[in-house]
């Protein structure tokens, strides 16, 4: 995706707003109608916010969401904007030196409104196909057959209640009560309704027929079929009946028939378009392998880095807890923790020693390291000191050190991340090369560096 994720970073805080309690029926609608359109990750994001919102928790950072969902900040942002676009979330931002968000969840549309909407119904149809579409629509049909011989005997309000004129005054006005609003997505349409009406005579299509809801449907259909006012005039004439009445359903049917006659017999498809929008601070996309690796380390969650280093296997709880502790308790940036994890794991044969990690982390905190690039540079500068710390922490270091000095043999070469070496330096310049370790290192670095190319 584009660099839009820089609108959102792991340290940014958020709160969740649920305007009213959602129900199990809302969960069914979300799962069966919306999930095929937005995907599993966006659905999981919505359900996570739903659960957290019901708990009415305190303000949290996006790092906690990254850790819960096991996805990068880029994928988190992608999920968010999909929920916004489909009408399931509203986002409010405040930036006064520290960026914070309020996420207001919107309920799914009821089945009748959903299937009447020309864009949503066609989007779902294009995702799951005709057979599955008919099946899921039938699932939400409202049974109207009461049974033979039954007649309604329900009482009306006026049958049971009557007004009593007393001097008790009036109830106080209330403005902030819960309201079950219909969740709706926003569209930007430049459809020319004035041109549409110019070609429709008042005798054939009275202006009163073109209500706000009808105009909304016309705009959506014009967008769906890529039609202008001239084509939509024909659709409107096909949709209106002899009593000068027109509904959203008749418009949809007329548009479908006109499309089949003039364009194609197969329905148009709606796909997710990723807009390549550039933020002011980012002028260039990553060009080098080093830049791609920095982008990966800046955007991935530490648990994701641990998982990638372990060839996709889930990391041990102790390793995840250590990474979370550095971020949540000590305030380290996730990108800095990612560099630290990679540096320690690669140079200690994939062993994550808590005391050694915390010693380097303490040094980086005192140095106020906040970016992956700063952490890489400091690791290069202080590498010899970190080697000494590792040796001092080894139980057998004191007994082995004199023997090595007497024999005059070099210490075992440490395996280091690729970013450790500058352009002028190469791993070969540091001493004898262990071919098997070098091969494994290159495999790992290639996986991490190319992570962005796989969808992050």
Does residue 76 fall inside a structural domain?
Answer: yes
Highest averaged pLDDT of the listed ranges 32-46, 156-170, 174-188, 377-391: 32-46
Instruction: Say what the pLDDT of residue 100 is.
Output: 94
289, two tokens? 């392998």
Domains: count for the chain: 3
Which of the four pLDDT bands, split at 50, 70 and 90, describes residue 1? Answer: very low
Residues 221 and 360 in one domain: no
CA distance 256 to 268: 10
Residues 253 and 305 in one domain: no
Which CATH number covers residue 15? Answer: 1.10.10
Residues 308 and 378 in one domain: yes
Block residue for tokens 């290192």: 441
Show which of 202, 237, 268 is a domain's final residue: 268
**298 alpha-carbon distance from chain centroid:** 17
Does residue 256 fall inside a structural domain?
Answer: yes
Does residue 155 fall inside a structural domain?
Answer: no
pLDDT tens profile 193-205: 888 877 777 777 8
Does residue 160 fall inside a structural domain?
Answer: no
Does residue 119 fall inside a structural domain?
Answer: no
Does residue 144 fall inside a structural domain?
Answer: no
Residues 329 and 425 in one domain: yes
Residues 100 and 215 in one domain: no
Residues 299 and 388 in one domain: yes
The mean pLDDT value for 305-313 works out to: 83
Task: Tell me the CA distances in angstroms from 434 to 173, 254, 343, 346, one per residue in order.
Answer: 79, 72, 18, 14
CA angle, residues 144, 145, 150, in degrees to nearest 5 = 120
Does residue 151 fall inside a structural domain?
Answer: no
pLDDT tens profile 408-429: 444 444 555 656 555 444 444 4
Which residues make Cβ contacts (< 8 Å) with residue 374, sequence separation at least 6? 336
Which of the four pLDDT bands, split at 50, 70 and 90, describes residue 437? Answer: very low
At what angle are helices 354-366 and 372-381 packed, to 10 degrees?
Answer: 110
Does residue 20 fall inside a structural domain?
Answer: yes
Task: Tell me the CA distances in angstroms from 422 to 372, 415, 427, 451, one per residue in order.
Answer: 15, 15, 10, 22
The mean pLDDT value for 102-125 works out to: 92
Residues 298 and 245 in one domain: no
Show which of 108, 140, 165 is a domain's final residue: 108
- Full domain range(s) for residue 364: 289-454
**Spatial contact of 340 and 305, defined as CB atoms under 8 Å apart:** no
Measuring CA to CA, which residue among 388, 380, 387, 333 is closest to residue 361? 333
Residues 258 and 308 in one domain: no
Residues 252 and 341 in one domain: no
What value does the mean pLDDT of the chain take?
78
Residues 233 and 312 in one domain: no
Block residue for tokens 């260039």: 284
Residues 403 and 254 in one domain: no
Block residue for tokens 């027109």: 246
CA distance 25 to 182: 15
Residues 294 and 442 in one domain: yes
């Amino acid at each position: 995706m584009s660099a839009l994720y820089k609108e959102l970073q792991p340290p940014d805080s958020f709160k969740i707003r649920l305007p009213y309690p959602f129900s199990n029926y809302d969960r069914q609608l979300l799962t069966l109608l919306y999930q095929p359109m937005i995907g599993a990750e966006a659905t999981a994001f919505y359900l996570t916010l739903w659960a957290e919102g019901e708990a009415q928790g305190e303000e949290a950072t996006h790092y906690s969401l990254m850790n819960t969902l096991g996805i990068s900040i880029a994928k988190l942002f992608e999920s968010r904007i999909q929920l916004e676009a489909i009408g399931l979330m509203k986002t409010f931002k405040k930036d006064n030196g520290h960026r914070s968000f309020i996420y207001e969840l919107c309920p799914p549309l009821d089945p009748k409104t959903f299937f009447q909407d020309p864009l949503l119904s066609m989007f779902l149809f294009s995702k799951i196909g005709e057979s599955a579409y008919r099946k899921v629509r039938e699932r939400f049909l409202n049974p109207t057959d009461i049974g033979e011989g039954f007649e309604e005997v329900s009482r009306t309000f006026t049958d049971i209640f009557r007004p009593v004129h007393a001097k008790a005054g009036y109830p106080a006005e209330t403005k902030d009560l819960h309201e079950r609003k219909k969740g709706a997505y926003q569209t930007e349409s430049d459809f020319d309704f004035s041109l549409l009406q110019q070609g429709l005579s008042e005798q054939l299509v009275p202006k009163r027929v073109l209500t706000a809801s009808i105009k909304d449907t016309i705009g959506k259909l014009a967008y769906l079929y890529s039609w202008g006012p001239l084509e939509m005039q024909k659709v409107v004439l096909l949709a209106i009946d002899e009593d000068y009445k027109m509904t959203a359903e008749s418009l949809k049917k007329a548009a479908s028939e006109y499309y089949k006659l003039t364009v194609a017999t197969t329905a148009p498809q709606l796909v997710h378009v990723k807009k390549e929008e550039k933020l002011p601070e980012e002028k260039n996309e990553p060009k080098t392998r080093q830049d791609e690796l920095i982008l990966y380390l800046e955007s991935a969650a530490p648990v994701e880095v641990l998982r990638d280093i372990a060839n996709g296997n889930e990391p041990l709880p102790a390793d995840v807890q250590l990474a979370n502790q550095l971020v949540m308790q000590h305030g380290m940036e996730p990108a800095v923790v990612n560099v630290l994890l990679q540096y320690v794991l690669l140079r200690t044969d994939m062993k994550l020693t808590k005391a050694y990690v915390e010693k380097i982390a303490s040094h980086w905190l005192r140095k106020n390291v906040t970016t992956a690039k700063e952490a890489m540079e400091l690791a290069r500068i202080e590498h010899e000191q970190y080697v000494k710390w590792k040796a001092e922490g080894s139980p057998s270091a004191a007994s082995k050190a004199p023997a090595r000095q007497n024999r005059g043999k070099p210490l075992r070469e440490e395996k280091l991340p690729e970013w450790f070496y500058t352009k002028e330096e190469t791993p070969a310049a540091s001493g004898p090369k262990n071919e098997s370790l070098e091969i494994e290192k290159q495999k790992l670095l290639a996986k991490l560096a190319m992570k962005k190319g796989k969808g992050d």
